Amino acid sequence: MRARLAAVVGTVLLGAGMLVNVPAAHAADPVSEFDVTVGNTYTRGTITWHNRSVTVAGEQKSVSSSSCRGTTAFTLDASNKQLGLNYTSRTCGASETFTPFTMPADVSGGAAVVRICLDDGALPATYYSCKRYGRPSS
């Protein structure tokens, strides 16, 4: 009876995890905070380091409706080879939470570095400032 209940609960939880396109964080998945600020504008949030991907979640701020901001993130291996890239939607004249996104880092050990840039929200983006965040030690 308990084994069957555990199987049902596991199936329900697995199914619920598949509804969201972001890997579930495990207790062993380290989390880093990021903050890239330029003047009164910024992008800030968290990087969750999975085995072969990273999830970036956060908020970006633009102070003027005519001067938008966005966030660009790159995953890099230990040799600085780019593994993945993602852009957020742009924010104009507001402070908004962006939809969390997962980027590939399909190498042994996952991404060594995530580079986060505050940009102008356009494609191709103009980067105002970028910072590198190394994978935390386990």
- The number of domains in the chain is 1
71 with 60: CB under 8 angstroms? yes
Does any domain span residue 5?
A: no
Give pLDDT tens digits for 8-50.
334 334 344 434 445 555 668 999 999 999 999 999 999 999 9
Give pLDDT tens digits for 106-123.
999 899 999 999 999 999
Provide the domain limits for residue 95.
26-134
Does any domain span residue 53?
A: yes
Does any domain span residue 2?
A: no
The model carries a pTM of 0.79
pLDDT of residue 14: 39
